[in-house]
Amino acid sequence: MLENAPGRKKSGFIKRTKPKLKVIIGDRDHVTAESFYHVINLLNMDIDKLCNLFFKDQKYKLLYKEGGSDNKLNQLVFILTKTKKEIYTAVNIESTRFTRLSREEFKELYPNEVNNLAKSLNLKPSLLFNYFYGGSTRPTILF
| Whether residue 3 has pLDDT greater than 70 | no
139 within a domain of the structure (yes/no): no
- State pLDDT tens for residues 82-140: 889 999 999 999 999 999 999 989 889 999 999 999 999 888 999 999 999 988 777 66
62 within a domain of the structure (yes/no): no
* Confidence band of 25 (pLDDT split at 50, 70, 90): low
On whether both 21 and 47 belong to a single domain, the answer is yes
On whether both 44 and 87 belong to a single domain, the answer is no
105 within a domain of the structure (yes/no): yes
On whether both 127 and 94 belong to a single domain, the answer is yes
CB 61 within 8 A of CB 120: yes
- State pLDDT tens for residues 74-94: 777 777 788 899 999 999 999
Sign, Cα dihedral of 98, 118, 5, 43? negative
d(CA 129, CA 139): 10
pTM (whole model) above 0.85:
no
121 within a domain of the structure (yes/no): yes
d(CA 15, CA 91): 26
Write down the pLDDT at residue 85. 93
CATH number at residue 119: 1.10.260
Write down the pLDDT at residue 34. 92
What domain range is 42 assigned to? 10-54
138 within a domain of the structure (yes/no): no
On whether both 129 and 77 belong to a single domain, the answer is yes
Write down the pLDDT at residue 39. 87
On whether both 97 and 124 belong to a single domain, the answer is yes
Give the count of domains, the chain: 2
- State pLDDT tens for residues 31-68: 889 988 998 888 888 999 989 888 888 999 988 766 56
* Confidence band of 2 (pLDDT split at 50, 70, 90): very low
